[in-house]
Amino acid sequence: MFTGIVKTVGIVTDLAEKKGRTYLTVKAKHTISRVQKGDSISVSGVCLTVVRTSKSLLTFEIMPETKRKTILDTIKKNDWVNLETALRLGDALGGHIVQGHVDTVAKVISVQQDAKNVLVSLKIPAGWKNYIIVHGSIALDGISLTVARLQGSVVTVSLTNETIERTTWKTILVGQRVNVEVDVVGKYVEKIFKK
């Protein structure tokens, strides 16, 4: 489990196909302490298992299903990713409950900046809009964000300076695809009331 509070960013240093498996190696910008083989890390919102670690290099195996359902299907060398270690017992829950199980992929349709804010709007596939509420939580590329506006299938979030500086969204662009994880609480509520 994660909280959507990105610890650091990392750059993709290698992407290798070996015996039908994909291996992604990322160099973290800042050292992530206590990471070992077998640990779970959120890589731009996707929960991946560390298969090898050496200094600031982390290697993950990407399963075919993960590639099909996330933006990792188009990741390439020199791309930047958001990194967050799994929540440990006693850690502060700074964002919201994030599983690292991407629900869908959305496309950025607008990036607007005024004197105080950067507003990013995304077109969410219609089947997921019922799980999103104004002022509710959403994880985009693994970042815990608050929904500022919701107009049909268009979700708008407002970025703080801290989010911009700490994450890959410093360079967010119109047309960019992002991983989306809706708030898990809504899914559980729906399941309870469907019985």
Per-residue pLDDT of the chain (195 residues; tens, 9 = 90+): 999 999 999 999 999 998 878 999 999 999 888 899 999 999 999 999 999 998 789 999 999 999 999 999 999 999 999 999 998 877 877 889 899 999 999 999 999 987 778 999 999 998 898 899 999 999 999 999 999 999 999 999 999 999 999 999 999 999 999 999 999 888 888 778 876
Ordered by start, the domain boundaries in the chain are 8-85, 104-187
- Topology adopted by domain 104-187: Elongation Factor Tu (Ef-tu); domain 3 (2.40.30)
CA distance 156 to 11: 27
CA distance 18 to 43: 20
Do domains 8-85 and 104-187 share one topology? The answer is yes
- Topology adopted by domain 8-85: Elongation Factor Tu (Ef-tu); domain 3 (2.40.30)
